[in-house]
Amino acid sequence: MTPPPYVEGHDLLKDRAVVITAAAGAGIGGATARRCLEEGARVLISDAHERRLAASAKELADEFGTDRVASLPCDVTSEEQVGALYDLAVRRFGRVDVAVNNAGLGGTSDLVDMPDDQWDRVLDITLNGTMRCTRAALRIMRGQGSGVIVNNASVIGHRAQKGQSHYAAAKAGVMALTRCAALEAADFGVRINAVSPSLAMHPHLVKVTSEELLDELTRREAFGRYAEPWEVANVIVFLAGDYSSYMTGEVVSVSSQHP
């Protein structure tokens, strides 16, 4: 089954300042940056891959204008770099209205053969990195009395899959972090939700997942296809905007997968 037609923008995020991690390239982060710009936002994109980030930023700036696009390399395992990212957002845009925490690291490895450093790296990027970015955004949004945070989780956070114990533990942690932080942030007018995609195809996924596993996961999807990254980005835009104003602490599954 082919994907549906691409959905045009409707100014759902007009003039809002958005920070997106892991936004270089053709994955969910890159698609989210483009969707936010199409919806009228000003966007600061970051990524640990500096060359890819520079190329993505130039492409977006050429299309949407240099006044609406900024970029800064950021390794989410570094508190200093996360702080610098949010400092730049405030200097450039004056505020932070939306934070999309997309950075994560996967891979396939059975627990019995997994060394500590592999476990630690996945958890530090995927869970701790989300925590660092959430915390940095909250410190700004608390002063504003408003803001929205959207975290990228995964259905693997609640659906078992061989070779994914580290990634599943991290994404389950992202879900729990989202729910708990949302209750705290509600006290100062900030909403926090998460998306939980099943299978969105992008180049990095192909590199870390076998073709056999991708074929198996695709067959489990009700539509018989993987999601396009922009289809996940559409749900992120919904959670970032006013149409989801009563939602916080929710994890929205972006999936057609059946057991």
Q: How far apart are CA 233 and CA 210, in angstroms?
A: 25
Radius of gyration for the alpha carbons in the chain, expressed in angstroms and rounded: 17
Nearest to 99 by CA among 153, 135, 50: 135
Q: How far apart are CA 32 and CA 54, in angstroms?
A: 17
Q: How far apart are CA 64 and CA 120, in angstroms?
A: 38
Sign of the alpha-carbon dihedral angle for 199, 204, 206, 209? negative
Q: How far apart are CA 36 and CA 245, in angstroms?
A: 17
Token output for 193: 């939700």
Residues with catalytic roles: 167
Token output for 227: 């999601």
Sign of the alpha-carbon dihedral angle for 63, 67, 72, 77? negative
